[in-house]
Amino acid sequence: MSILEILNKQALSKEEIKRLLAAEGDDKKLLFDKALQTKLAHLDNHVHLRGLIEYSNICTKSCLYCGVRSKNLKVSRYHLSDEEVIECAKLAHKLGYGSVALQSGERSDKAFTEKITHLVKEIKKIDNGSLGITLSLGEQSEEVYREWFEAGAHRYLLRIEASNEELYYKIHPRDEKHDFKKRLDCIDSLLKVGFQTGSGVMIGLPFQTLDDLASDLLFFKQKDVAMVGMGPFIPHPDTPLWQYKDQIPSAAERMDLTLKMIATLRLMMPEINMVAATATQTLDPQGREKAILAGANVMMPNLTPNAFRENYLIYPDKANVKDKPSQTQSKIDESLAAIGHKVLYNAWGDSMAFTKKQK
Ligand code: 5AD
């Protein structure tokens, strides 16, 4: 079957997905063109912003890829004060972002979960609940997810990281704290509680095959998630996976594969929200724009106070650590205009896929 025939199909098989992920030259261009057309037809040229608040790098987990894993003793640990979080949220509101995303290292103790409930309620008070709230706070019990949902959060990101269980355990310790089944159960709980649920994976991991990546895309489709965040894996020197840094695809290859993953998923799930991950920008200064052109429609500009950002290096050379929010803003507007896109200001920017399902 030709690439054109595959691109015009309604549902893609795993083999067809693998063909798209392996596309090069003219075939790759056809894939990107089709993905962009599909996005524009369903979601217009709008980009939604979430002001990212990196609440804390204190983490109970030790994921083998992550720079802020608990076993990395080089990191100085912090959490923002309530006032700092609210200031970030007010700034997001002032800048017209419409939404914030609260992200943190993973903790599930009561002091933490209650703090988050409090912060969600406080953010909701800003201008009578005008800000949308996405949480990205890892694995929790269904009760905790429900408590946060009832407090006013309505979107939740929990990447599966790798949908192949064997690969999952090559990038996580094999212990009760890093349980693949629990991760799956949490995604199901989030869907059940009613969150617009997002998931995602890293691309270019050691041991990862094209077959794994195709399965990841089929996993998102099967779970019918509302949002997806996928970005290139970037080895961090203070993590166990650093030892494989010479055995993974080159930075350019990881970037290219990320774009093909985004484009292919856009064909499979035309109306979901897909983020142009900051990690794409780390590998390529134009990375986020390329991701938008490949089918992404969300960006998450960092609003964390600059002093804390260098302690939240989940991977090295993270982009924008030194940028100020106002600079970030004009840069985003300009770079999106240059590729025929624009920010939809003062809107929550919910997933169209989710909104339609609710009706
Ligand atoms: N490279 C790229 N992405 C990473 N993440 C964590 N560590 C890395 C890394 N070294 C991603 C994970 C996590 C998200 C917050 O950041 O997918 O879910």
- The pLDDT score that the predictor gives to residue 326 is 73
- The pLDDT score that the predictor gives to residue 46 is 98
Mean pLDDT per block of 10 residues along the chain (359 residues) reads 94 98 98 98 98 98 98 97 98 97 98 98 97 98 98 98 98 97 98 98 98 98 98 98 98 98 98 97 96 98 93 88 81 95 96 90
- The pLDDT score that the predictor gives to residue 330 is 84
**Secondary element (H or E) of residue 196:** strand 196-199
Quickly tell me which residue has 């040229």 as its tokens: 45
- The pLDDT score that the predictor gives to residue 265 is 98
Three-state SS annotation for 220-231: HHHHCCCEEEEE
Q: Give phi and psi for 335, each to the nearest 5.
A: -70, -30
- The Å distance, Cα 1 to ligand 1 centre, comes to 36
- The Å distance, Cα 26 to ligand 1 centre, comes to 31
Within 13 Å and on the Cβ side, how many CA atoms surround 126?
A: 24
Q: Please list every protein residue whose CB sits less than 6 Å from any atom of ligand 1.
A: 65-66, 159, 161, 202, 231, 233-234, 236, 279, 314-315
- The pLDDT score that the predictor gives to residue 166 is 98
Q: Which atom of ligand 1 is nearest to the CA of 314?
A: 7
The alpha carbons of the chain give a radius of gyration, in whole angstroms, of 19
Query: CA separation (Å) from 212 to 125, 202, 261, 266?
Result: 43, 11, 12, 18
Mutate to test the pocket of ligand 1, among 248, 315, 318 (most ligand atoms within 8 A of CB): 315
- The pLDDT score that the predictor gives to residue 319 is 74
Closest C-alpha among 279, 292, 288, 270 to residue 353: 270
Asked if 216 contacts 257 with a C-beta cutoff of 8 angstroms, the reply is no
- The pLDDT score that the predictor gives to residue 10 is 87
User: What's the whole-model pTM score?
Assistant: 0.97
**Secondary element (H or E) of residue 156:** strand 155-157
Please work out, in degrees rounded to the nearest 5, the angle formed at the alpha carbon of residue 61 by the alpha carbons of 56 and 64: 110
Q: Which atom of ligand 1 is nearest to the CA of 65?
A: 10
- The Å distance, Cα 68 to ligand 1 centre, comes to 10
Query: Cα dihedral sign for 35, 273, 194, 212?
Result: positive
